[in-house]
Amino acid sequence: MKIFLDTANLESIRKFNDMGLLDGITTNPSLMFKEGGNPKDAMEEITKIIKGDVSLEVVSTEYSGMMEEGKRLRQYGENVVVKVPMTPDGLKACKSFSSEGIPVNVTLIFSANQALLAAKAGAKYVSPFIGRLDDIGQDGMKLIEDIRKIFDHKHYEIKTQILVASVRHPVHVVDAAKIGADVVTLPPAVLDKMMLHPLTKIGLDNFLADWDKLKSGNPDIQI
């Protein structure tokens, strides 16, 4: 399963990219607003840092505006995936972009029906928002299971990838991986938590303490 970072924060992107953990980036207008500054500068830098897909989102709600903005976004780099909302105009734009060879991420998916329609329109990615479904008492992971079952049906040839979004905690990541999601996109805080376990720290502290004891009797010893 690929891991994308869901952020426009350049420091976080560089940090996790240097660890070799990132396969791509997803952004949206809210994330750009959170970071402040000129979004153009951020988008230029992100597409330089990341070699994988970078989803940049349109803000127009009408087809013509989406097409105009999407083509401008693609100028930031060949790795740009145009992100459009799950609306009738968004599906129309998805079809047009995909027919021109421009990859599309259809976002704000909350049902298997929406995911199926986005796939029919040629989306490279569908982005179901599992955390927001959990927030209203629905089972976000059940949606991922349903989409996976549909996309994998032997009678279909759906190549659209399931990009699990609105991830709130590391358990979401494990569940998505077990279901067989293609991609999970994470806030930096969740990716940080995935690396931590109290027993790892305890074990490391014990190893270092024993090494210090060993070295105290043999000051010249080295690894």
Q: Which residues are catalytic?
A: 83
Per DSSP, helices labelled H in the chain are 10-18, 29-35, 39-49, 63-73, 88-99, 112-120, 130-135, 140-151, 170-179, 188-194, 198-217
The candidate with the shortest Cα–Cα distance to 25, out of 3, 48, 57, 1, is 3
> 30-38 long-range contacts, Cβ below 8 Å, gap at least 24?
31/6, 31/7, 32/8, 34/8, 35/8, 35/9, 35/10
Task: Count other C-beta atoms under 10 Å from residue 145's C-beta.
Answer: 16
DSSP-assigned letter for residue 159? -
Alpha carbon of 128 to those of 45, 93, 95: distances in Å? 27, 19, 19
What are the φ/ψ torsions at residue 219 (nearest 5 degrees)?
-60, -25
